[in-house]
Amino acid sequence: MLIPCLSFSQNEVKPNIIFVMADDLGYGDLGCYGQTNTKMPNLDRMASEGIKFTNHYSGSTVCMPSRASLLTGYHQGNASVRGNPVWTNSGKPVNLEPNEITVANELKGAGYKTAVIGKWGLSEGNTNQNMPSAHGFDYFLGYKKHSHAHHYYWDTLYRNNEPYILKDNNYGLKQGKYTHDVFINEALHYIEKEQDHPFFLYLALTIPHLELTVPEDSKEPYQNLDWPKRKMNTKGGYKNDAEGNTTYAGMISRMDRDMGRLFDKLKALGIDESTIVIFTSDNGPEYESKDLFFNSNGPFKGGKRDLYEGGIRIPFIARYPGKIEAGKESDHLSAFWDFLPTACELAGVTPSNKDINGISFVSELFGNQKKQQKHDFLYWEFNERQGPIQAIRKDDWKLVWKLEGDPELYNLSVDQAESNNLAIKNPEKLQDMLALLKDVRTEHSEFPLETRALAYKKRKKNKSNNTNIKKTF
């Protein structure tokens, strides 16, 4: 049974909350974070009119667990979802727990209309359990499974709990409606429909996740710039366009164009100043990282599927005219699991769950740094073929711990590229971080701290044993 939010200020105006999340967009992919190749005037203007965070982190370095942390307020040591499908002890996907409270539940209890448009990716498997409607969302249009979201011309989306067919779409031939456009148009329609009362819109875009493809009009500004060519695999599971660099830039520019459309809609409806818009990414880049054309991870090492900074430190911009001072930059240490308590405070309620790991950063948003509560540490784990890998950050120190391999200790204040392992030179600090790591997580039967290869062997052995048992009857 869901516990309703507890109100602490019913008289304050409740802002509309729009949370826009790109997919696999790197820290260095935006102009306001250093990108020079791609044109993105609307996101750059958003940063100039709001606040840009330089120390914000995703929930994980891959999609599904990152989104779970965002919605529930738990870091990966306590979350129910700690890995993408298949990478579990049993080989079966782990979704949100039935009736697990999300930020949508909290805001709905505070009188908000709630919607998710785009990529849900938390109802894996063959049932319709754990759909957005089971976790506080009044409305949903988008991809149910994250693997379907790898295709921009997929023919079957979901509207609420029912299939929504794009009858002319053929993902193999890349024909029909570009699903990103479908989501943007639906988001603009939703904003107009719900403009007269508080709403929470979680707009989970799929740009610029592989596959790399975009309509030609978005590539045109980059076609004759003498850029290096990057040939893409066009015959695999991802139906990529033939050349990668112009496609990648075109995808991000199309997303930027549509952020401009979103802001224009808010202004046209007269609700711009009563709406906070947040823009971020679910994890680091996959298309490329350092030393390639876009340098998508900026000054950091690694990318998607790494727990180095390039895999988890992400762009994060918030705009709220009249409430957030324009042109601000914050180095406040924060992460996805902070969004739930932040949204609750904006809505004038307190979170139902008292044991979440998130801390509201409303004070930081509104320039009250002295009142801003800070984290003792941030924690991540990664449960795939390379893992489990754990990472913990406390102040400027970062520990990356692998079950197989030497510990890695970095001082990010002088080494943000994580190039100088200080584990041997700083044994006392290493022991402090290891002691912290020891007590940071709860056990989870599907995500034990043992190698994924060992889990795979166990599944294979259990499958063999089950087959033998069946044969005896």
Nearest C-alpha neighbor of 164 from the set 223, 230, 117? 117
Statement: residue 140 has pLDDT above 60: yes
pLDDT, tens digit, 9 for 90 and up, residues 340-356: 999 999 999 999 999 99
Instruction: Dig out the tokens for 16 from the structure.
Output: 């509309």
For residue 402, what are the β-bridge partners? 389
Nearest C-alpha neighbor of 118 from the set 164, 85, 72? 164
List CB contacts of 46: < 8 A, sequence separation 6 or more: 259, 263, 277, 279, 317, 319
Q: How far is 215 from 229, CA to CA, in rounded Å? A: 18
Q: How far is 421 from 74, CA to CA, in rounded Å? A: 29
pLDDT, tens digit, 9 for 90 and up, residues 223-269: 999 999 999 999 889 999 999 999 999 999 999 999 999 999 999 99
Statement: residue 422 has pLDDT above 50: yes
Match 């902070």 to its residue by tokens: 338
- H, E, C per residue of 265-290: HHHHCCCHHHEEEEEEECCCCCCCCC
Which CATH superfamily groups domain 15-376?
A: Alkaline Phosphatase, subunit A (3.40.720.10)
For residue 441, what are the β-bridge partners? none
**Average pLDDT of every residue of the chain:** 93
pLDDT of residue 346: 98
Domain spans, the chain: 15-376, 379-471
Compute the average pLDDT of residues 49-67: 98
Report cis status (omega within 30 of 0) of the bond before 341.
no
pTM for this prediction: 0.94
Statement: residue 162 has pLDDT above 70: yes
Angstrom CA distances, 185 to 182, 205, 250, 265, 436, stand at 5, 12, 19, 11, 46
pLDDT of residue 463: 63
Statement: residue 128 has pLDDT above 90: no
Amino acid in the structure at residue 81: V
Percent of the chain with pLDDT over 90: 86
Percent of the chain with pLDDT over 70: 93
Instruction: Dig out the tokens for 22 from the structure.
Output: 């790109």
User: What's the CA dihedral at 437, 439, 443, 447 to 10 degrees?
Assistant: 0
CATH of 379-471, one of 3.90.550.10, 2.60.40.10, 2.60.40.720, 3.30.1120.10: 3.30.1120.10
Nearest C-alpha neighbor of 46 from the set 342, 262, 314? 262
pLDDT, tens digit, 9 for 90 and up, residues 273-317: 999 999 999 999 999 877 789 999 999 999 999 999 999 999 999
